Chains A and B, each alone.
Chain A
Amino acid sequence: MRTIILLSFLVFGMVAHSQTTITGKVVDENNVAVPGANVVIVGKAIGTVADFDGNFILSTSEVPPFKLRISSIGYSEVTVDVTSNNQKLTIKLEESQTILDEIVISASRTPERLFESPVTVERLGLKQIKNTASADFYDSIENLKGVDVNTNSLTFKSINTRGFATFANNRFMQLVDGMDNATPALNFPIGNLVGMIETDVLSVELLPGASSALYGANAFNGILFMQSKSPFDYQGISTHVKRGITSQKASGDNAYTDFGIRAAHKFSEKFAGKVNFGYLRGTDWAAVSEVDKTTVGGTRADLNYDGINVYGDEVSADIKGVAVLLESTINPDTGGFILPKGANALVPSVDVSRTGYNERHLTDYNAESIKADWGLYYRPWENDFEISYVGKVGTGTTIYQGLNRYNIENFFQEQHKLEIRNDNFFLRGYLVADKAGDSYDMVFTGININRAWKPDKVWFGHYVGNYVKATLGGATNEQAHAIGRAAAEDGRFEPGSPEFNAAFEKSVNDPDLSTGSKFQDASKYYHMDGNYNFSHLTDFADIQVGGSYRQYSLNSFGTIYTDFDGPIEYSEYGIYTQIQKKFDLNETMNIKFTGSARYDKSEFFDGFLSPRLSAGLTINRNHNIRASIQTGFRNPTTQDLFIGLDAGRAILVGSAPENLDRWTRDYSVSGGGQLAGQPATITQTGAVAYNNSYIAESVLAFAASKNPADLVVANSKLVKPEKVTSVEVGYRGKLNKLIIDFSAYYNRYQDFISQEAVISPFYGTVDGNGDAQVDMDLLAFSALANKDFQTYSTYTNSSVDVNSYGLSLGLSTKVFGDFDLGGSYTFTKQDFDQAADPGFQTNFNTPEHKFKATFGNPDLFENFGFNIAYRFSDDYFWEATFGDGVIPEFHTVDAQINYRIPNIKSTFKLGATNLLGDEYFTAFGTGFIGSMYYLSWTINN
């Protein structure tokens, strides 16, 4: 029976049957009428507007009890309970309530006025989400001050603050209802792919900077909190549908659909449930750059071309070395050697790359995200004590750029959480598990389609054989290269041909990177955390304690991690406490001290204590000055520890001691090396990167100068946790209608974890006596000269401190009456002595200057609003494993107009992002970001 009632509610919920009538008057603190206030039933799009004298009458089908939210520009919002029909209300609004008066919980793990939070915190509430000009709420985070959004693809955006991030942003944490949604395989969150749907979002809070003292290791650069609406507070059905197009020069205009529905119901005061479903489909930003990655100004005509979004051309060889090998390779057709002895003198020592395939031939650029979640909430005593179960699943197709560019297809992630909580404590445990689905590495797909057609050896053999033949026939160098390549390319699989398609299918279903490109994973982690707030028990101070435990189970079947023989498991835990004390200095001034400390211990590393101390001085409720000092730390990630992956350009070997020898590989020795008496094959384990290696850049210098003094010993140290000490000061204030939010920080990173490109020779010793000076070992030098070496990417800590500092200033106010104008400026700079640690990349990846502004009016006239958002990013240099390059400055404008039709509880929004149409990008190697034009219809939100 209940089900039927619920169903009929779902179906007819939108039709208004007036049953309840409420009358009221809205006044200010001095009992003067406030005209034009909005009166809305909480959780519904039902409401009315007060008249000039502050009076309103609301007729609704809702049956009391329910809540009314009354708001008016320039006043803080008030919620009142309606308990009976025909109730008469007098609502008193307080003036000048602003965003600073909003309640945040992330900064101290306890609700507090944003104004008084001890550290910088940004918040997106329902109002901001409704009025954003961005395509969805997650994108709108980009408009918060100090936030960088690195756009991987249409559906995978990576949020960061204060620099030092790539797409693999494992320094930044993302919590959805307290649950970390980092993907187990990758150890970082993949945007909102497995996140929330817009109509379920209650609030988004963002803490820039380290929060390790409360949130542990990963909350190092910052943390993003997303909170959903409780079905006890927000019931009914709400939905949104958004349709439009994405427009990009490379991929044209493509349809875009984003649909979401939320259904929540409170069955009784004890029990409530909700279900969310979201579906998004579009076409990704195509990445079509043919700029040469390795040679400045290089073009496709170059011998050793390696295009950014051209794959397969990463495979290259020194053709003189090939010629040497051909001199001792038997030609099966003739029985003689392929090249006569000494013929390598005819061949220049230059690198030649195979011909690659454009990325657009290796992916269909589908962008898809399907997610669902459900929750059951039980309050046995009808009070704040709640037991809940939440499940979340997400699947989708997107593009991720890490070491290479990955086509993430039918990726699946699930999360299950059990939680017990009341106002003073919570205890939760959850599981996060992923499956890589049909995902594949596009770079290796290009490489292995080539190999399926013609193995590298054969291809280079044809090239060099024909180069020599042409030379002996009278060709110049340039002509001989052209003839060599033409001969080697004979019979190439053209994109779209049946052979190409077959090789493509074979590659993307084969997880062995020497022949295929399938990305396999079924990793997971279990997490538990709990918190108890003693503030209701103690008077002298507010005290909290908490702790967490996490167990990782890495299971990539040997395709990412060295877990070829079964899952790798390890665990870490942390405990923390916080004491908060507020002193009233006088009637208008108070000071609040917060002290927190957290102890974390990973199975592999010594425990680490990270304290935080902060003080906030509030004057007159309108001025708050804060200062804090904290330390943070970050354990090396699962990849830092256990990766074992041949990325083509380099082999990545994680630095857990037991991992080093789990990676092993045979290498062919060059003709030159074999002539000098080396065996044809040499086996290296990952350990060589850490005990017999040069800094890769120094080998380049040596290649040019032939001077051994240019070589630098690498022998990367095994990775250990990185630490940050962060000092921050800030001011928040209200001056008439102007709201100021300013912060400045100085971060000092020690043992900064990053990757180092090193080169290990196949033979010879780099630094036998361990004095950090290059041994004058001619054998090792000859290995370098013969190109008998392998490039590794090691995970290590910089010996040099990395410092960064910055400030951000946000201003917001009302202009021309009721228009909202806001702007922020963020300055970020790193201070790192590259010369002191060559080869070390900090991946700072953030512009020195950012400027953002929004202008809008949610009620320009009745039921009509608009918003414009502008962002400027200065140019900066992007560093990441896929490639490095300059990101030019850009300006971008998003805009929306919206119209509300209250009697069908609907809001229509017409919007555009990147309205100017100037395509830009935020990271090297990705598709350019084009424009989106959309129309959305939101019901009951």
Chain B
Amino acid sequence: MKIKYIALLAVLVGLTACNDEEDFSKTEVVVALPELSSGSADFSNYVALGASFTAGYTDGALFKASQGNSFPQQLANKFAGIGGGSFTQPLMNDNTGGMVAGTTPVVAYRLIFNGTGPQRLNEFLAGLGAPTPPITTDITANLGSTFNNVGVPGAKSFHLLANGYGNVAGVSLGLANPYFVRMASSPNASMLEDALSQEPTFFTLSEIGGNDVLSYATSGGIGIDQTGHFNPQIYGKNDITDPTVFGQVFEGIVTQLTSGSAKGVIANVPYITSLPYFTTIPNNALVLDAAQAAGLTGFFQAYAGIFTQGLIGLGVPPANAQALAAQYAITFTEGSNRFLIDVPASATNPQGFRQMTENELLLLPIDRGAIAAQGYGSVAISQAVLQVLGILQAGGTPTAQQAGLVLAAVNAIDDKDALDTEELLSIQTATDAYNVKIKAVADATGLAFVDFKSILEKASTTGLVSGDYTLTTNLVTGSLVSLDGVHLTARGYALMANEFMKAIDVAYGSNFEASGSLLDVGNSPTNYSHTLQ
């Protein structure tokens, strides 16, 4: 009998731990991610060579905080865990974004968001009646050292090879760059020399070619498309660099960077015209009610009539005169209408203006007040002009002087504020040519390659998904592009760093993405507070 209750007890003891809770838990087991590894890349001495993006330029300026969020810095932070060495940047003295040469302001304050749009920090603070922090970064104070980050805002491809680009004496002549002046190892050093002198084991070569079209674009195409001209010495600052020149320069840079068997990443050039600097102001923002539309249409009928009469007066056969003047009898409709822009006067368009076409762009700095108040982009109608129109309405004939008032009232948008079809084509053609070269170099060298062209294309169309965010190219709200409409936000630079890491994974077998080491872009801000000093 005893055995029986011993058996009972045995059952009891045996039952106390039959199975584990884990057997029942239906929560998914988190699969441990692999440890981050560098693959075949050697990150011990990383050098970033490039222009404004590499420098960390944002909100129309470069400042301490923005440099801290530059994509090379964010990359270097990741590299640090897998053999990366220290990473130095030529930090600005403060967070104003401005620079002085002695006491002369050279570079303006950064932009901030004032609640409705971008505004210079000093203007905003002045509006508040708050003290404006002084600019303490003096370009004449050379930092006297070499830095891992050789990103110089504004540098075009050939500037990387230019000796004297860091000579303070050349700044006022436009031959040198104040940002490089601060950090050049000597007045005669070139950016590439300074980069090479650090014997990089790994490099990023980014946005080369960007400035070669950007200044042309941001100037509204007032520069010259230098395609076919192979001497950059003669280029103006707003010119487009010849693709052959670009190609030689780019290939030369890569050859030198890789001469010490360094590995690295290169990136192509996006269509900069999809940046908000060019897309924020719609070209059809001439919104009219029915009466206004009829009034404007009437004005241009009058214009065409006056012009016809003028031509006939000059001896042009009436039929020809009418045919030529017909292009100025522009009709307007209730609702949105495209603006008028200036174009070079020509035999077919002797008056040198026309209505914009669908894909033509207006630039961010355009005077929106003038559009609203002074008929910029359409007609500046004064009392005198109305009087002439009245005469015409009544069947009268205005005097030559009166007719001249009407012709002069057209207030088309200046060339500097717009990119017309031809200018857009120049930009696109040059960009495409640069990119062909960049891809060819990437293929030839086996360097990692980032396709920023497709990335920006995606951002400007469907939006770019990163983590929980979908970044777009809207100004202010898109979170990708900073307040200057061209450069990225810190969040945008984080995304850019992620793209570099993914490309490095592909080329060198590292596992930034697979190990979950990509950046969470939400950890980087989109804006810098005006209180940041």
A interface residues (Cβ-Cβ under 8 A, vs B): 296, 320, 339-350, 471-478, 736-738, 811, 813, 815, 821, 823, 825, 848-849, 851, 853, 870, 872, 874-877, 884, 886, 888-889, 891
C-alpha gap A877/B471 in the complex (Å)? 42
Question: Is A813 in contact with B26, judged by CB distance below 8 angstroms?
Answer: no
Which residues, 457 to 471 on B, are CB-close (under 8 Å) to A?
463, 467-471
Question: Is B11 in contact with A472, judged by CB distance below 8 angstroms?
Answer: no
- When distances are taken between beta carbons in the complex, the residues of chain A under 8 Å from B79 are none
- Please tell me which one of the listed residues B15, B25, B470 contacts residue A886 in the complex, with CB atoms under 8 A apart: B25
- When distances are taken between beta carbons in the complex, the residues of chain A under 8 Å from B27 are 296
C-alpha gap A766/B471 in the complex (Å)? 30
Question: Is B1 in contact with A471, judged by CB distance below 8 angstroms?
Answer: no
C-alpha gap A821/B480 in the complex (Å)? 76
Nearest Cβ distance between residue B7 and chain A, in whole angstroms? Answer: 9
Known pairs A853-B8, A875-B24, A888-B21. 5 more at Cβ < 8 A?
A296-B27, A348-B467, A349-B468, A477-B523, A872-B12
- When distances are taken between beta carbons in the complex, the residues of chain B under 8 Å from A888 are 21
Question: Is A340 in contact with B477, judged by CB distance below 8 angstroms?
Answer: yes
C-alpha gap A349/B12 in the complex (Å)? 52
Question: Is A475 in contact with B525, judged by CB distance below 8 angstroms?
Answer: yes
Question: Is A471 in contact with B527, judged by CB distance below 8 angstroms?
Answer: yes
Known: A345-B463, A345-B470, A349-B469. A874 touches B5 (CB 8 A): no
- Please tell me which one of the listed residues B19, B472, B532 contacts residue A345 in the complex, with CB atoms under 8 A apart: B472
Which residue of chain A has the shortest Cβ distance to B470 in the bound complex?
A: A345
Known: A349-B469, A872-B12. A886 touches B24 (CB 8 A): yes
Question: Is A848 in contact with B19, judged by CB distance below 8 angstroms?
Answer: yes
Question: Is B11 in contact with A474, judged by CB distance below 8 angstroms?
Answer: no
Question: Is A345 in contact with B24, judged by CB distance below 8 angstroms?
Answer: no
- Please tell me which one of the listed residues A320, A342, A474 contacts residue B529 in the complex, with CB atoms under 8 A apart: A474
Nearest Cβ distance between residue A167 and chain B, in whole angstroms? Answer: 19
B337 at interface, CB cutoff 8 A: no
- When distances are taken between beta carbons in the complex, the residues of chain B under 8 Å from A342 are 472, 474, 477-478
- When distances are taken between beta carbons in the complex, the residues of chain A under 8 Å from B25 are 877, 886
C-alpha gap A888/B471 in the complex (Å)? 45
B446 at interface, CB cutoff 8 A: no
Which one of A339, A476, A815, A872 has the greatest number of beta carbons of chain B within 10 Å?
A: A476
C-alpha gap A41/B8 in the complex (Å)? 37
C-alpha gap A296/B18 in the complex (Å)? 25
- When distances are taken between beta carbons in the complex, the residues of chain A under 8 Å from B472 are 342, 345
C-alpha gap A473/B530 in the complex (Å)? 8
Q: Give 29 A-B contacts (CB < 8 Å), ordered by A residue.
A: A341-B477, A342-B474, A344-B477, A345-B463, A345-B471, A345-B472, A345-B474, A346-B477, A349-B469, A349-B470, A471-B525, A471-B527, A472-B526, A472-B527, A473-B529, A474-B525, A474-B529, A474-B532, A476-B522, A476-B525, A821-B5, A825-B11, A851-B12, A872-B12, A874-B18, A875-B19, A877-B24, A884-B26, A888-B21
Known: A346-B479, A350-B468, A872-B16. A877 touches B522 (CB 8 A): no
Question: Is A891 in contact with B522, judged by CB distance below 8 angstroms?
Answer: no
C-alpha gap A339/B480 in the complex (Å)? 18
Which residue of chain B has the shortest Cβ distance to A870 in the bound complex?
A: B12
Which residue of chain B has the shortest Cβ distance to A740 in the bound complex?
A: B4
Which residues, 513 to 531 on B, are CB-close (under 8 Å) to A?
520, 522-529
Nearest Cβ distance between residue B24 and chain A, in whole angstroms? Answer: 4
C-alpha gap A736/B476 in the complex (Å)? 90
Question: Is A345 in contact with B8, judged by CB distance below 8 angstroms?
Answer: no
B113 at interface, CB cutoff 8 A: yes
- When distances are taken between beta carbons in the complex, the residues of chain B under 8 Å from A349 are 468-470
Question: Is A823 in contact with B8, judged by CB distance below 8 angstroms?
Answer: yes
Known: A471-B525, A825-B11, A872-B16. A348 touches B26 (CB 8 A): no
Question: Is B16 in contact with A811, judged by CB distance below 8 angstroms?
Answer: no
Question: Is A813 in contact with B4, judged by CB distance below 8 angstroms?
Answer: yes
Which residue of chain A has the shortest Cβ distance to B115 in the bound complex?
A: A472
Which residue of chain B has the shortest Cβ distance to A346 in the bound complex?
A: B479
Question: Is A471 in contact with B16, judged by CB distance below 8 angstroms?
Answer: no
B interface residues (Cβ-Cβ under 8 A, vs A): 1, 4-5, 8, 11-12, 15-21, 23-27, 113, 463, 467-472, 474, 476-480, 520, 522-529, 532
- When distances are taken between beta carbons in the complex, the residues of chain A under 8 Å from B478 are 342, 345
Nearest Cβ distance between residue A527 and chain B, in whole angstroms? Answer: 39
Which residue of chain B has the shortest Cβ distance to A878 in the bound complex?
A: B24
Question: Is B15 in contact with A874, judged by CB distance below 8 angstroms?
Answer: yes
Which residue of chain A has the shortest Cβ distance to B459 in the bound complex?
A: A345
C-alpha gap A299/B78 in the complex (Å)? 29
Nearest Cβ distance between residue A61 and chain B, in whole angstroms? Answer: 44
- When distances are taken between beta carbons in the complex, the residues of chain B under 8 Å from A340 are 476-477
Which residue of chain A has the shortest Cβ distance to B469 in the bound complex?
A: A348
- When distances are taken between beta carbons in the complex, the residues of chain A under 8 Å from B15 are 825, 849, 851, 872, 874
C-alpha gap A320/B529 in the complex (Å)? 23
- When distances are taken between beta carbons in the complex, the residues of chain B under 8 Å from A874 are 15, 18-19
C-alpha gap A349/B470 in the complex (Å)? 8
Question: Is A345 in contact with B12, judged by CB distance below 8 angstroms?
Answer: no
Nearest Cβ distance between residue A351 and chain B, in whole angstroms? Answer: 10
Nearest Cβ distance between residue B12 and chain A, in whole angstroms? Answer: 6
- When distances are taken between beta carbons in the complex, the residues of chain B under 8 Å from A851 are 11-12, 15
Nearest Cβ distance between residue A922 and chain B, in whole angstroms? Answer: 14
C-alpha gap A909/B4 in the complex (Å)? 31
Question: Is B12 in contact with A853, judged by CB distance below 8 angstroms?
Answer: yes
C-alpha gap A242/B8 in the complex (Å)? 33
Question: Is B24 in contact with A876, judged by CB distance below 8 angstroms?
Answer: yes
C-alpha gap A353/B528 in the complex (Å)? 28
Which residue of chain B has the shortest Cβ distance to A874 in the bound complex?
A: B18
Known: A471-B527, A474-B527, A884-B26. A345 touches B479 (CB 8 A): yes
Question: Is A737 in contact with B527, judged by CB distance below 8 angstroms?
Answer: no
C-alpha gap A891/B520 in the complex (Å)? 46
C-alpha gap A345/B474 in the complex (Å)? 9
Which residue of chain B has the shortest Cβ distance to A737 in the bound complex?
A: B1
Nearest Cβ distance between residue B64 and chain A, in whole angstroms? Answer: 14
C-alpha gap A346/B490 in the complex (Å)? 13
Question: Is A811 in contact with B8, judged by CB distance below 8 angstroms?
Answer: yes
Known: A346-B477, A349-B470. A813 touches B5 (CB 8 A): yes
C-alpha gap A886/B25 in the complex (Å)? 6
Question: Is B21 in contact with A343, judged by CB distance below 8 angstroms?
Answer: no
C-alpha gap A341/B473 in the complex (Å)? 12
- When distances are taken between beta carbons in the complex, the residues of chain A under 8 Å from B520 are 477
- When distances are taken between beta carbons in the complex, the residues of chain B under 8 Å from A737 are 1
C-alpha gap A821/B4 in the complex (Å)? 11
Known: A348-B467, A876-B24. A341 touches B474 (CB 8 A): yes
- When distances are taken between beta carbons in the complex, the residues of chain A under 8 Å from B113 are 472-473
Which residue of chain B has the shortest Cβ distance to A469 in the bound complex?
A: B115
- When distances are taken between beta carbons in the complex, the residues of chain B under 8 Å from A849 are 15, 18
Which residue of chain B has the shortest Cβ distance to A834 in the bound complex?
A: B26
Which residue of chain A has the shortest Cβ distance to B483 in the bound complex?
A: A472
Which residue of chain A has the shortest Cβ distance to B2 in the bound complex?
A: A815
- Please tell me which one of the listed residues B11, B479, B480 contacts residue A823 in the complex, with CB atoms under 8 A apart: B11
Nearest Cβ distance between residue A294 and chain B, in whole angstroms? Answer: 11
- When distances are taken between beta carbons in the complex, the residues of chain B under 8 Å from A736 are 1
- Please tell me which one of the listed residues A341, A478, A823, A884 contacts residue B522 in the complex, with CB atoms under 8 A apart: A478
Question: Is A476 in contact with B21, judged by CB distance below 8 angstroms?
Answer: no
- When distances are taken between beta carbons in the complex, the residues of chain B under 8 Å from A815 are 1, 5
Which residue of chain A has the shortest Cβ distance to B24 in the bound complex?
A: A877
C-alpha gap A875/B19 in the complex (Å)? 8
Which residue of chain A has the shortest Cβ distance to B113 in the bound complex?
A: A472
Question: Is B526 in contact with A346, judged by CB distance below 8 angstroms?
Answer: yes
- When distances are taken between beta carbons in the complex, the residues of chain B under 8 Å from A821 are 5, 8
The 8 lowest CB-CB distance pairs between A and B, nearest first, are A477-B522, A348-B468, A474-B529, A342-B474, A877-B24, A343-B477, A342-B477, A345-B472
Nearest Cβ distance between residue B468 and chain A, in whole angstroms? Answer: 3
Question: Is B24 in contact with A473, judged by CB distance below 8 angstroms?
Answer: no
Question: Is A891 in contact with B474, judged by CB distance below 8 angstroms?
Answer: no
Question: Is B477 in contact with A476, judged by CB distance below 8 angstroms?
Answer: no
- When distances are taken between beta carbons in the complex, the residues of chain A under 8 Å from B1 are 736-738, 813, 815
Which residue of chain B has the shortest Cβ distance to A339 in the bound complex?
A: B477
C-alpha gap A667/B526 in the complex (Å)? 34
C-alpha gap A340/B474 in the complex (Å)? 11
